[in-house]
């Protein structure tokens, strides 16, 4: 609640959780899904996903030597993508859209959620907020139909910034993204490879894909099951998990994390998803608890009874309590001017106010209702932003990267303002590209602390706006 109260009126909260604005965002996402479905349908027809196997983690493939078609597609797309760095939290999406709306060759503009700063940086990120409530800026992507169109857009925006013709553009930094190796691989625990769990996940994923298809007016799940009807059930699971990611922007193995674009999906959940090899026993106490938590998180989107919510009527009545005065036992007075009627109980005064002073309290009731609805939408999102330090027992993200992911974080060059190129994605990691075994043996190791270093030899810098890179093993605890 404290976190929501601190950000309740931020543009990113209104766009995602306020009735009306959230509907606009939802329609934009449905349009995006139909666009993605057209490409996915063509890829399936071309056999791109034949032989798919999410158990086949390429342990011998050096990172940066990716041949996965999805990563190749992303690298091609980055050449025609303008990255928008650190969009201020006070800037509405409409202002960013307006910058690009009329530029030739634009396909779409999308924004991420705000960045959660490191615990020690939250007070500096938004110093006007209560301690620990601060957030970092948002990241955006404007995707064009060609590299030439993207470069022309950069030139146009730079000209506007230089002449200060547009106040919005002067607050942002832009760059053409460069092709880069996969940020990290989302690797689910080995218990997801157990035959019993594979069967459970297949039925769950079928239901999710069918529901999301119905919402978007698509029929991809059924078409895939028919195309791969002669394949083993695990192939059905793997192709549906991939379909959910590539079309519905939904990462099942990230406990049902949803985004509004492929760019944000890669930013949050990695470029690829795998199951850790093996067949961990899902029946153990700890495994069973983790899987129960995972399943609840997944079901929460589709089962309203699982979503925490505040009773709006109770919140309205509590707000109207300011107009009730207790004079003595069983004597409560309405404090509206020129009224002063007495009642035996508070609830009768509240009912009286709603009926007899409806016009006077209508703005207050509307405000309380809108805010409470926004709060309930926020609480009902199983992946809503929440500073983990406020409540260490609450698991709020698609995953919590272990120390291996932090250790493997990229050291990209700082993005130039209003033009230039970006070296996103340069990274130090295990040259074999192996998954990090819960931060264990494959964790990248730097030089000893005692090793001397010439500061003049430092060629790159930590990008605090970038997500952690390296292979991620999901931790649902």
Domain that holds residue 352: 312-378
Q: Residue 254 domain-assigned?
A: no
Say whether both 423 and 336 belong to one domain: no
DSSP string, 272-326: EEEEPSS---TTSHHHHHHHHHHHHHHHHTT-GGGS----HHHHHHHHHGGGEEE
Q: Find where tokens 């390296």 sit.
A: 470
Say whether both 74 and 154 belong to one domain: yes
* CA distance linking residue 317 with residue 73, whole number of Å: 54
Q: Residue 405 domain-assigned?
A: no
Mean pLDDT by 10 residues, the chain (477 residues): 89 94 92 94 93 76 52 62 89 93 93 84 77 87 92 92 83 77 71 92 97 96 95 96 96 93 87 80 84 93 87 94 92 92 94 95 95 93 76 38 35 38 34 31 40 42 41 43
Say whether both 373 and 421 belong to one domain: no
* CA distance linking residue 115 with residue 84, whole number of Å: 14
DSSP designation for 86 = E
Q: What angle do CA 8, 253, 60 make, to 5 degrees?
A: 130
Say whether both 325 and 177 belong to one domain: no
CATH number of 17's domain: 3.30.70.330
In which element (H, E) is residue 139 found?
strand 138-144
* CA distance linking residue 213 with residue 41, whole number of Å: 14
Say whether both 126 and 170 belong to one domain: yes
Say whether both 15 and 163 belong to one domain: yes
Cβ neighbourhood burial of 158 (10 Å; 0-12, 13-18, 19+): middle
Q: Residue 467 domain-assigned?
A: no
Whether residue 415 contacts residue 422, with contact meaning beta carbons closer than 8 Å, is answered with yes
Number of domain units in the chain = 2
Query: Minimal CA–CA distance to 262: which of 236, 278, 242?
Result: 242
Q: Positive or negative CA dihedral for 259, 61, 65, 46?
A: negative
Rounding to the nearest 10 degrees, give the CA dihedral for residues 77, 78, 81, 85.
Answer: 150
Query: What was the pLDDT predicted at 450?
Result: 46
Q: Find where tokens 């919510």 sit.
A: 309
Say whether both 13 and 63 belong to one domain: yes
Q: Residue 303 domain-assigned?
A: no
**C-alpha distance from residue 231 to each of 56, 193, 272, 372 (Å):** 17, 17, 22, 48
Instruction: Report the predicted TM-score, pTM, of the whole model to 2 decimal places.
Output: 0.77
Q: Is 110 helix (H, G, I), strand (E, B) or coil?
A: strand
Query: What was the pLDDT predicted at 249?
Result: 96
Whether residue 394 contacts residue 382, with contact meaning beta carbons closer than 8 Å, is answered with no
**C-alpha distance from residue 259 to each of 121, 194, 252, 281, 374 (Å):** 25, 28, 12, 31, 19
Phi, psi of 324 (to 5 degrees): -115, 130
Q: Residue 108 domain-assigned?
A: yes
Estimate the share of the chain in helix, then strand, then coil, as percent rounded to the nearest 5: 45, 10, 45
* CA distance linking residue 477 with residue 433, whole number of Å: 25
Q: Find where tokens 């819960």 sit.
A: 438
In which element (H, E) is residue 16 found?
helix 11-17
**C-alpha distance from residue 262 to each of 5, 251, 293, 312 (Å):** 30, 11, 26, 35
Query: What was the pLDDT predicted at 106?
Result: 94
Whether residue 40 contacts residue 247, with contact meaning beta carbons closer than 8 Å, is answered with yes
Strand-pair partners of 81: 143
Say whether both 40 and 110 belong to one domain: yes
Q: Residue 385 domain-assigned?
A: no
Q: Is 450 helix (H, G, I), strand (E, B) or coil?
A: coil
Q: Residue 407 domain-assigned?
A: no
Q: Residue 387 domain-assigned?
A: no
Say whether both 29 and 139 belong to one domain: yes
Query: What was the pLDDT predicted at 181?
Result: 54
Say whether both 13 and 161 belong to one domain: yes
Say whether both 339 and 422 belong to one domain: no
Say whether both 424 and 350 belong to one domain: no
Query: What was the pLDDT predicted at 244?
Result: 97
């Amino acid at each position: 609640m404290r976190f929501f109260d601190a950000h309740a009126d931020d543009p990113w909260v209104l766009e995602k959780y306020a009735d009306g604005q959230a509907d606009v965002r939802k329609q934009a996402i449905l349009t995006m899904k139909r666009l993605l479905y057209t490409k996915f349908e063509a890829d399936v027809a071309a056999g791109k996903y034949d032989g798919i196997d999410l158990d086949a983690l390429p342990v011998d493939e050096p990172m940066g030597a990716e041949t996965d078609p999805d990563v190749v597609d992303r690298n091609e797309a980055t050449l025609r993508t303008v990255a928008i760095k650190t969009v201020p939290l006070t800037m509405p999406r409409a202002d960013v859209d307006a910058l690009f709306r009329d530029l030739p060759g634009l396909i779409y503009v999308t924004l991420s959620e705000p960045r959660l700063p490191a615990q020690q940086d939250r007070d500096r990120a938004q110093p006007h907020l209560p301690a620990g409530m601060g957030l970092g800026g948002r990241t955006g992507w404007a995707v064009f139909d060609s590299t030439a169109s993207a470069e022309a857009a950069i030139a146009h925006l730079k000209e506007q910034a230089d002449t200060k013709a547009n106040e919005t553009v002067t607050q942002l930094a832009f760059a053409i993204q460069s092709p880069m190796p996969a940020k990290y691989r989302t690797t689910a625990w080995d218990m997801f490879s157990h035959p019993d769990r594979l069967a459970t996940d297949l039925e769950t994923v079928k239901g999710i894909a069918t529901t999301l298809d119905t919402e978007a007016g698509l029929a991809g799940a059924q078409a895939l099951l028919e195309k791969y009807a002669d394949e083993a059930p695990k192939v059905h699971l793997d192709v549906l998990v991939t379909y959910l990611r590539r079309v519905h922007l939904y990462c099942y193995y990230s406990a049902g994390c949803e985004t509004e674009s492929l760019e944000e999906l890669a930013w949050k959940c990695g470029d690829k998803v795998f199951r850790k090899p093996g067949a961990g026993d899902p029946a153990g106490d700890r495994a069973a608890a983790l899987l129960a938590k995972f399943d609840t998180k997944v079901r929460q989107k589709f089962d309203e009874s699982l979503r925490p919510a505040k009773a709006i009527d109770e919140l309205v009545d509590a707000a109207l309590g300011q107009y009730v005065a207790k004079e003595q036992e069983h004597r409560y007075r309405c404090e509206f001017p020129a009224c002063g009627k007495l009642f035996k109980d508070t609830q009768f005064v509240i009912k009286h106010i709603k009926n007899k002073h409806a016009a006077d309290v209508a703005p207050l009731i509307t405000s309380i209702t809108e805010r409470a609805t926004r709060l309930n939408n926020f609480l009902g999102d199983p992946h809503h932003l929440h500073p983990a330090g406020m409540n260490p027992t609450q698991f709020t993200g698609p995953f919590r990267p272990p120390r291996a992911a932090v250790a493997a974080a990229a050291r990209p060059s700082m993005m130039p303002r209003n033009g230039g190129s970006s070296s996103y994605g340069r990274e130090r990691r295990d040259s074999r590209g192996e998954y990090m075994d819960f931060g264990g043996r494959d964790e990248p190791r730097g030089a000893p602390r005692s090793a001397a270093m010439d500061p003049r030899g430092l060629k790159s810098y930590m990008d605090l706006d970038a997500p952690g890179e390296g292979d991620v093993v999901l931790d649902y605890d």
